[in-house]
Structure 1
């Protein structure tokens, strides 16, 4: 009974391969498929899609959100063109279904929003991110394409992190009051690199650290391994110097998830002794290093301890007052919320805010989901997370049997998701385009592994496996 319920909940028994073949819409689009066969440009459609995504991630830390939006629009248009003219075949996964349900609830929340115009703007932004997810999930099914995409992101993080380190050593002007003026670290430089905000920089670097770390194991040659190790170290140093408490929490959660999955992936080769003790030894050693670092470095210790002083810290006090207003917003519209986006939030929050505590977001991803989509939105979001972790685990066990190097990218993706969520406990930088695109990239990488045995050779991406 419980097994059957679990299979239904995780869509384990759902068959998606024949859906498009039986679709009336798919048959009506037959002329477009014939046109595509005669198009020289569309033969390279997946190459073009990869190029657009690579350009998007390469430019995201440096350019305005307007240009990021233009690139997202280009990615969305290409995905629509490729999908509408594609032959029937594997393409959907349970993750796609959960994303569609989440988007559908946000559409309904927008339609019923008390600030419909503002919510439409947020829905458009969400839709562009989801269309990016769809394009990446399509392109990343080919192992080499997946590797090239991740390589592009890792290389992009290097100048971002190096510039952040330069700010630490040579100084940087704080663009806002990021530290309690009465704190012991009030005069310490918080680096922000090209992104203009330490918390945003920390969120940007978390997936970079995870992907760089797994690249050390995934890449076969020593020079790329050295580059990946260098990127992981530089990104980690820069993240620490952001002094972002939420970023640190996300980094620790992501790191522990990565270690657990890597040890489980390797355990097929372990002796009975190490199968039992490898994980406790590794986690215990990592925890000891973290504790020793916090005890030894004054600025780290002061920032960590400030998490536990409650309202005595001005940042904590600010968040608590914002959360109080946000909870009142949720109580006012608990079922479907106010609709997606910061414009909708900014239109409604002033009616509930505490005096002098203006805010641009809920300062918690989970509260933000409840505000935007209500209980139904939160249930859809949690279901998406459930399917993500379930699908990643199932596919990881399949890859584990052959110790396929592609399994490391899956580990990096799920650790990145966990890390972004960890930071999102008390922050909402996930909704900034520099990080929202990484969030949907990680989800797309997980979705791209399903069903892997039926994908190769079906697409226009004529690349060989590594």
Structure 2
């Protein structure tokens, strides 16, 4: 699980990672068959997740390109396999420190990625004056870097809260500063808005509505300050509305298509839009004057799902996030700070909130990013489970208590 977590920060390893996860799932199912135990771990995500997968599969015959949509559906199913495999491993191992070790692996790899991105950014001549040069992730771009930071910064924050040793907290604080710098110099506004949503949610959990309003005011002041700086010649490209305008244009086209195909959509997958409208492909757009070009994709995961597989798929997809957040961050908010498992779950919940906001502006629910999401979901669901909180997670397999239990459960001769 630690290896899956660390390798998820390197998109070029995704195919190997995907095949490895499939092998691990098969091996785990084989072990469960040998041990005659059920591999199924019940979660609040089961109903919306399976409804989503079944519905998308049912819409494949109506897709513009059925083969492509079916291939994209298989990718999603394989990614969701990370959730159930991780839940099974956590449930069978019963190692109390394993969830925290997985989060440490994410934090350390995220910090290493931040160091690389900052060094590369400085080496390519990046500056604070504007975003013509942006910090990138290793062998990928600023969109991936921004999403990695959105998902890992809250995790690092929860680990700092739980840290007992001063040197450990200092190291985690340094990692947090490096990751914040990488996020800043990625100059990705969708990532910044993801952190803004996380800040508002954290403020609501810690101090209630009043603190949330204060944070909202500070965020508004920061946005106003950025606009003032652009008038002075700094960060003009960052506040430019060109990419916003192109997104609004393509969203309008997508919404019209959703109104025309509200049930089955035009085909699941990010490229279904171009397959439906080849005049918006990259090659076709190259022949269009620069001011009239649009982005050849929805650049919004939720709209892509609605356009691809209809409104029922969108409702199921949103339900997945809602069900997960209700489990990770219970209401009233004060219940999120009862113990260390609640703190870890709250950090994961903030990561989910930021990831959802990030996907409002780009299609980032893919590849190794999806693996990180499902891995975090599995850890969060496990540490908030009743069996884990009851103290059963502290036993190690093969301990005397386990042996006594197994002997007691054996039928009498």
TM over 0.5: yes
- Distance in 2, matches of 1:235 and 1:446, equals 22
CA shift in 2, pair 1:98/1:61, >3 Å: same
- Tell me the CA shift for residue 107 of structure 1: 1.5
Match of 2:374 in 1: 440
Match of 1:196 in 2: 140
* Contact preservation (8 Å) 1:214, 1:412: yes
- Distance in 2, matches of 1:75 and 1:399, equals 35
Aligned with 1:335: secondary structure?
Answer: coil
1:347 aligns with 2:280: no
- Tell me the CA shift for residue 190 of structure 1: 1.0
CA shift in 2, pair 1:171/1:461, >3 Å: farther
- Aligned ranges for residues 102-141 of structure 1 at < 5 Å? 102-141=52-91
Match of 2:110 among 146, 151, 157: 157
Does 226-235 or 278-287 show the bigger shift?
278-287
Instruction: Quote the RMSD (CA, aligned, Å).
Output: 3.5
- Distance in 2, matches of 1:463 and 1:200, equals 42
1:57 aligns with 2:2: no
Match of 2:408 in 1: none
* Contact preservation (8 Å) 2:103, 2:155: yes
- Distance in 1, matches of 2:370 and 2:46, equals 17
Match of 2:305 in 1: 369
* Contact preservation (8 Å) 1:185, 1:299: no
- Tell me the CA shift for residue 360 of structure 1: 5.2
Q: Deviations over 1:25-66 (max 9, x none)?
A: xxxxxxxxxxxxxxxxxxxxxxxxx3xxx2222123333432
CA shift in 2, pair 1:398/1:133, >3 Å: farther
Match of 2:130 in 1: 185
Match of 1:25 in 2: none
Q: Deviations over 1:104-125 (max 9, x none)?
A: 1122122432321111110111
Q: Which runs of 5+ in 1 are unaligned?
A: 1-49, 175-183, 264-276
- Aligned ranges for residues 4-19 of structure 1 at < 5 Å? none
TM-score for both structures, normalised by structure 2 = 0.80
1:389 aligns with 2:325: yes
- Distance in 2, matches of 1:166 and 1:130, equals 34
- Distance in 2, matches of 1:217 and 1:348, equals 49
1:420 aligns with 2:355: yes
Match of 1:87 in 2: 37
Match of 2:243 in 1: 315
- Distance in 2, matches of 1:349 and 1:428, equals 18
* Contact preservation (8 Å) 2:131, 2:237: no
CA shift in 2, pair 1:450/1:216, >3 Å: closer
Aligned with 2:138: secondary structure?
Answer: helix
Match of 2:404 in 1: none
- Tell me the CA shift for residue 450 of structure 1: 5.3
CA shift in 2, pair 1:304/1:456, >3 Å: farther
Aligned with 1:193: secondary structure?
Answer: coil
Aligned length: 382
TM-score for both structures, normalised by structure 1 = 0.71
- Tell me the CA shift for residue 398 of structure 1: 10
Q: Which runs of 5+ in 2 are unaligned?
A: 400-413
Aligned with 2:168: secondary structure?
Answer: helix
* Contact preservation (8 Å) 1:362, 1:368: yes
* Contact preservation (8 Å) 2:48, 2:316: yes
Match of 2:218 in 1: 288
* Contact preservation (8 Å) 1:140, 1:448: yes
